[in-house]
Amino acid sequence: MAVVEISGSRILVTGASSGIGRELARELAARGAVLAISARRRALLEDLAEEVGADGRAVPVVLEADLSKRGTAEVLASEAVSALGQIDGLVNNAGGGVGGRIATVGDRDEAREAFEINYWSPLALIKALVPPMMERGRGAVVNVTSMAQVGTWPGFGAYAATKGALAVATETLAMELSESGVHVMEVAPGPVDTAVQGETRLAPGIERMLNRTPLGDAALLASLIARALERGRTRVIYPRRARLGYLLPALVRWDTRRLAARAAKELDPAAREALGSLVVRTGSSGDEIAQTAREAWERDRGRLPTPGRG
């Protein structure tokens, strides 16, 4: 018997406008879920809702929200409940970040926004939506973290810290809800073929680390998440090879330090100085340098038209 019955469940999916969130919304809808989908880009959400409806599924409720802003999560939770009547499942997938050296980023607004969207907003949604699940004795929470909690890279420390914090909160939440009937699952992706790969690969030398694990497919990951929910599993790590890194984090960190040291030696002084002062908002609403890299990645994958064509 499935621990989480997806068919007929009313599920809120954040970060559903692209990447893993979009694929997961498609997968959950295909399995009979009734969805509220949220992100910052309404047009993409409306396209997704139309696509799901065209397949004969229940048309998802579109809820535009910027979870990098404090207080937005509480409003989103209220809107989702108003739209669907109750929420049986919460998928905290929305994410963003900041690129830059720790001593440069510090506690700048970009870093605080990254924590808001990656950590505080998921916790605010949990606070709003989980107590009613506990009263009913059923429900599910899926938190999408990252394998960055195991091995980070120069310039990615603040982002990795947000995901590490959410991973610890997820583990604690699972223990706290163990007898409640509310299922808690962590999804820890390694490199997956989404737009984020474009901005990630701006970091000098990072391919040496990323190439340790084959690039995953977002649609396949979505299928694995849904299947894991139905089987009551508590964690999904993908791609498969990333599981070894999760089990042996000390080895990953040793290897990553070695690769990062090699990459640092190859930087010329001008590049090293430029990187030392650089701070970039990343994600779908990030700075121009991040947006350009994301679009280039998608264009190379044939998911965006080439400028000047079509």
List, for residues 50-90, the tens digit of each pLDDT value: 999 998 999 999 999 999 999 999 999 999 999 999 999 99
How large is the average pLDDT for residues 86-98? 97
Q: How far apart are CA 165 and CA 115, in angstroms?
A: 9
Contacts 24+ apart (CB under 8 A), 75-83: 76/12, 76/14, 76/38, 76/125, 77/12, 77/124, 77/125, 77/128, 77/129, 78/128, 79/36, 80/12, 80/36, 80/38, 80/129, 81/129, 83/36
> Does residue 310 have a pLDDT over 60?
no
List, for residues 230-288, the tens digit of each pLDDT value: 999 999 999 999 999 999 999 999 999 999 999 999 999 998 888 889 999 998 889 99
Is 238 marked active-site?
no
> Does residue 183 have a pLDDT over 90?
yes
As its CATH architecture, domain 10-300 has 3-Layer(aba) Sandwich (3.40)
pLDDT at site 308: 54
> Does residue 111 have a pLDDT over 50?
yes
> Does residue 35 have a pLDDT over 80?
yes
pTM of the model: 0.94
Residue 140 banded pLDDT, cuts 50, 70, 90: very high
Q: Are 192 and 218 in contact (CB under 8 A)?
A: yes
pLDDT at site 206: 93
Which CA distances in Å does 257 have to 150, 164, 207, 223, 277?
12, 18, 14, 33, 21
Do you know the residue count of the chain? 310
> Does residue 27 have a pLDDT over 90?
yes
Q: Are 218 and 26 in contact (CB under 8 A)?
A: no
pLDDT at site 307: 59
> Does residue 22 have a pLDDT over 70?
yes
> Does residue 306 have a pLDDT over 70?
no
Catalytic residue among 119, 159, 238, 246: 159
Given the DSSP bridges, would you call strands 34-39 and 61-64 parallel, antiparallel or unpaired?
Answer: parallel
Residue 8 banded pLDDT, cuts 50, 70, 90: very high
Sign (positive or negative) of CA dihedral 96, 263, 190, 290: positive
List, for residues 194-231, the tens digit of each pLDDT value: 999 999 998 889 998 998 899 999 999 999 999 999 99
Q: How far apart are CA 133 and CA 274, in angstroms?
A: 49
How large is the average pLDDT for residues 96-119? 96
> Does residue 1 have a pLDDT over 50?
no
Could you tell me what percent of the chain has a pLDDT over 90? 89
Average pLDDT, rounded, for the chain: 94
